[in-house]
Amino acid sequence: MTSHEVSVVGDAAEQRHHLVPRNRFGAFMVLLVVVSVLSLAAGIAIGSVTVPLRDVVDVVLDRLWPWYEADERGVNDQIIWEIRTPRALLGFVVGAALSVTGAVLQALVRNPLADPYILGVASGASLGAVTVLVLGSGVAAGLGVSGAAFAGALLALLAVFILGRQGETLVPTKLILAGVALSYVLSSVTSYLQIIAEPNRIQGVLVWLLGTLTLSGWGDLGLPAIVTVLSTGWLLVRARPLNALLMGDEAAASLGVDLRRFRSELLVVSSLLVAVVVAVSGSIGFVGLMIPHIVRMLVGSDHRRLLPAAALLGGSYLVWIDILARSIRRPVEVPLSIITAAIGGPFFLWLMRRRAPRLHVRRCRTISNTERTMT
Amino acid sequence: MHVQLTDVHMEIDDLPIVAAASLRAETGEMVGIIGPNGSGKSTLLRSIYRTLQPVGGLVTVGGDDVWSLSSRQSAQRTAVVAQEATADFDFSVTEVVTMGRSPHLGLLQRESDTDHDIVTEAMARVGIADKANRVFATLSGGEKQRVLVARALAQRSRVLILDEPTNHLDIRAQLELLELIRDLGITTIAALHELNLAAHYCDWLTVLDRGRVVATGSVDEVLTPALLADVFGVACHCGIHPVTGRFHLAYTPLQDQRLGER
């Protein structure tokens, strides 16, 4: 029994160490960059017509670098440059944005189950998009699906921030409660719209709600890409106060973090980022929940390493998910959440089982403490 | 650097928690705040390290109103060691202590060699240099508190706030921690639960009861049987510790003493 307990404690101690040693982080990031480039290339090459990787390289270099002497532009040129490239890039941007905001919100509310949609952004976006998909863009002042989704996300956020405010401070717990409650209300309207929709529009609605990159072209890429790069940079610069926040409110305050202001800034930046990506991709579940956990196991909790690694890994991950979505049942494109949930659910069960021994030890200690106070 | 609280009023969700509390700690002194649970000890301390703004009164550290300083300026003067952190992250001891340098660094600034030297020195001073690469969360309660004291030292602050730092520690770790902190010679204000620890280590004591300061003074002025019965609801025999020669308390429930007197 004793030896069993000792081994359990040993395991727990080992699990705390992340897999990539600190002095190898640079090399690991280089590896992630390579993986990202390869994933993007694969995302461009694989599809209903699979084009050779050589053509992908040819076309992309030809477009980016005027002096590049490509072989004559073939039929693949249009597929590669007009359709696949913006789609792969958008997938990467969305995956990166969801992973980064997931990591930040988990630190902010100190809850490992926090995800980017915790503030009701997705339900607002869904209502906006579904309104246009079902009733036509006439009711939404001529906005397209993405535009209406973005407007819905912003309105939902505004409502949550107003409801979750206390004086001039944004209180995380109140925000979450407001976000959850608002999500239910908005979802009920979204569901009502689905019920009254004409049957031929239902599938489009369903696909959007479960997340898709089908609609993407170069025009959809600009805003999300710019916002993702700027917000991630902004957050990265604040990695040190983010770390302090993990140590507790008192610790953060005593280390010179202006808690009220910093929390509000984090909430506004990360939820705007989510709003921008949800508008172009629908609500893709589990990415923002799963990737930060995997990356913490790899590089640890320090946000200076966590955030850039999460961006690259999350981006690559979603590119591969999109490849799967296009390949599983051609020519039908499977909505992304179907795949991310099918992978993410079992992952969380595995994570829970893996951590179970430690939780068990902790619970035993709590019980014995309780018994001690009772006797 | 001295700390002065004048007539501080504090509220949480519009409920008054601390009323008209005043307190003074001169440079290098250790002042203990004692009082039953819920008497407002932690809340009062928060007014000093800028986590809860008083609704009335003045808090100065080194002569300046802390609430007119920036968060960073305040953190350069005041460090905090709170109750044992229940943290679920994998920062190493060195990383946690290095966080103490953050009030001195700009957002884009990296730690310099000087910063790393300060961190190494702080870890050596509290005797955790050999655990520099251990993961913070795997340390014992006493070791964790030492790491947090090292972080406070790395912060190079001139004032140290302790909020029941010995909770959850075994007896030896409690004594070692307070011994260590007293030997640092920094101005210290500590909320303490254990009255004998407070009596042994503090230069002055302030007693809080339901948010009000009911006594302030030297240890033997404050810890009288009448006050302990009144504030803590215990009967108390105050004597001299046979070994240390310092003030020492032995307490029993109030009813028991009445039984004994009969």
**pLDDT top residue among A230 and B229:** A230
A23-38 pLDDT, tens digit each: 788 999 999 999 999 9
Residue B227: how many other CB atoms lie within 10 Å? 16
A286-334 pLDDT, tens digit each: 999 999 999 988 998 899 999 999 999 999 999 999 999 988 888 888 9
In the chain, the amino acid numbered A169 is T
A138-191 pLDDT, tens digit each: 777 777 888 888 899 999 988 998 888 877 667 778 888 899 999 999 999 999
Q: Which A residues 52-111 touch B at CB under 8 Å?
A: none
Cα atoms in the 13 Å half-sphere on the side-chain side of A351? 16
> 């964790």: which residue's tokens?
B144
The helix (run of H) or strand (run of E) holding residue B175 is: helix B171-184
- So what's the pLDDT on residue A72? 62
Confidence class for position B84, pLDDT limits 50, 70, 90: low
The answer to whether A236 contacts chain B (CB < 8 Å) is: no
Residue B18, pLDDT above cutoff 80: yes
Identify all chain B residues contacting A243, using CB atoms and an 8 Å cutoff.
91, 95, 99
**pLDDT top residue among A247 and B54:** B54
Residue A7, pLDDT above cutoff 60: no
The predicted model scores a pTM of 0.84
Angstrom distance (rounded) from CA B158 to CA B254: 41
Residue A366, pLDDT above cutoff 50: no
DSSP-derived secondary structure letter, B135: B
> Which 3 state secondary structure label does DSSP give B89?
coil
- Asked whether the beta carbons of residue B100 and residue A246 sit closer than 8 angstroms, the reply is no
Tokens of A176: 């979450």
Closest C-alpha to A244, from B7, B256, B97: B97
- Asked whether the beta carbons of residue A253 and residue B80 sit closer than 8 angstroms, the reply is yes
Q: Select the residue of B72, B90, B148 nearest A301 (Cβ to Cβ).
A: B90
- Asked whether the beta carbons of residue B105 and residue A300 sit closer than 8 angstroms, the reply is no
Task: Give how far A251 is from chain B: nearest CA, Å.
Answer: 7
Task: Give how far A184 is from chain B: nearest CA, Å.
Answer: 28
Q: Could you give the C-alpha distances from A197 to A131, A132, A133, A135, B117, in angstroms and in order?
A: 10, 11, 9, 8, 68
B161-199 pLDDT, tens digit each: 998 888 878 888 888 889 888 888 899 999 998 888 898
In the chain, the amino acid numbered B15 is L
Q: Are B128 and B143 in contact (CB under 8 A)?
A: yes
Q: Select the residue of B91, B135, B137 nearest A302 (Cβ to Cβ).
A: B91
- Asked whether the beta carbons of residue B107 and residue A251 sit closer than 8 angstroms, the reply is no
Burial class of residue A110 (count of CB atoms within 10 Å of its CB; 0-12, 13-18, 19+): middle
Work out the average pLDDT over A80-86: 87
Task: Give how far A258 is from chain B: nearest CA, Å.
Answer: 5
Phi, psi for residue B57 in degrees, rounded to 5: 95, 180
Q: How much of chain A, in percent, has pLDDT values that exceed 70?
A: 87
Angstrom distance (rounded) from CA B54 to CA B67: 9
Identify all chain A residues contacting B51, using CB atoms and an 8 Å cutoff.
249-250, 253-254, 259
What residues contact B142, with CB distance under 8 A and at least 6 apart?
Answer: B169, B170, B172, B173, B176, B177
Cα dihedral B181→B182→B184→B187 (10° resolution): 100
Residue A1, pLDDT above cutoff 80: no
- Asked whether the beta carbons of residue A241 and residue B137 sit closer than 8 angstroms, the reply is no
Residue B205, pLDDT above cutoff 90: yes
Angstrom distance (rounded) from CA A363 to CA A342: 30
B119-169 pLDDT, tens digit each: 999 999 888 889 888 888 888 888 888 899 899 989 988 899 998 888 878
- So what's the pLDDT on residue A99? 96
Please provide the average confidence, as pLDDT, over all residues in chain B: 87
Task: Give how far A247 is from chain B: nearest CA, Å.
Answer: 7
Work out the average pLDDT over A249-269: 87
- So what's the pLDDT on residue A74? 67
Tokens of A252: 């953060």
The answer to whether A372 contacts chain B (CB < 8 Å) is: no
Residue A126, pLDDT above cutoff 80: yes
Residue A359, pLDDT above cutoff 90: no
Q: Select the residue of B46, B85, B102 nearest A248 (Cβ to Cβ).
A: B85
Q: Select the residue of A16, A18, A244 nearest B137 (Cβ to Cβ).
A: A16
- So what's the pLDDT on residue A73? 63
Residue A77: how many other CB atoms lie within 10 Å? 17
Q: Could you give the C-alpha distances from B202 to A310, B125, B176, B195, in angstroms and in order?
A: 48, 21, 15, 10
Work out the average pLDDT over B4-22: 89
Work out the average pLDDT over A201-225: 86
- Asked whether the beta carbons of residue A243 and residue B71 sit closer than 8 angstroms, the reply is no
- Asked whether the beta carbons of residue B91 and residue A256 sit closer than 8 angstroms, the reply is no
Q: Which of B47, B71, B188 to mutate: most A Cβ within 10 Å?
A: B71
Angstrom distance (rounded) from CA B134 to CA B53: 36
Task: Determine if residue B194 is left, alpha or beta; phi over 0 gives left, psi from -120 to 50 gives alpha, anything else beta.
Answer: beta
- Asked whether the beta carbons of residue B71 and residue A249 sit closer than 8 angstroms, the reply is no
Give the range among A88-92, A278-282, A288-292, B108-112 with minimum mean pLDDT. Answer: B108-112
- Asked whether the beta carbons of residue A17 and residue B135 sit closer than 8 angstroms, the reply is yes
ipTM above 0.85, yes or no: no
Q: Cis before residue A224, ω within 30 degrees of 0? A: no
- So what's the pLDDT on residue A116? 87
Q: How much of chain B, in percent, has pLDDT values that exceed 70?
A: 95
- Asked whether the beta carbons of residue B87 and residue A247 sit closer than 8 angstroms, the reply is yes
Closest C-alpha to A129, from A204, A182, A198: A204
- So what's the pLDDT on residue B85? 60
- Asked whether the beta carbons of residue B82 and residue A251 sit closer than 8 angstroms, the reply is yes
- So what's the pLDDT on residue A356? 45
Angstrom distance (rounded) from CA A299 to CA B141: 25
Q: Select the residue of A13, A255, A258 nearest B102 (Cβ to Cβ).
A: A255
List, as one string, the DSSP characters of A241-270. HHHHHHT-HHHHHHTT--HHHHHHHHHHHH
